[in-house]
Amino acid sequence: MSARELGDLVSRLGKQISKAKAERDKASHLLEVANAKLAGLKEKQAQASQILVKKQAEEK
């Protein structure tokens, strides 16, 4: 390969690396958002479960 071809290859690979990093960062952010949503839903479920247990106990 000539120096020019190698330079072009380095440039293309650099762009691919930048794109992959951006995709990774976006996926990481989306994972954080999904984990926060999941935690919130689990908390709501636990609260609803406690309320249900109390109501069932009151009905007995």
Residue 60: DSSP 8-state: -
Task: Count the alpha carbons within 13 Å of 39 in the hemisphere toward its beta carbon.
Answer: 6
Residues of the chain with pLDDT under 50: none
Predicted TM-score (pTM) of the model is 0.71
Q: What pLDDT shows up at residue 6?
A: 98
Q: What pLDDT shows up at residue 60?
A: 75
Distance CA 45, CA 3 (A): 62
Domain residue ranges of the chain, discontinuous segments joined by + = 1-59
- In degrees and rounded to multiples of 5, residue 4 shows phi and psi of -65, -45
Which two tokens mark 1? 């390969």
Q: What pLDDT shows up at residue 23?
A: 99
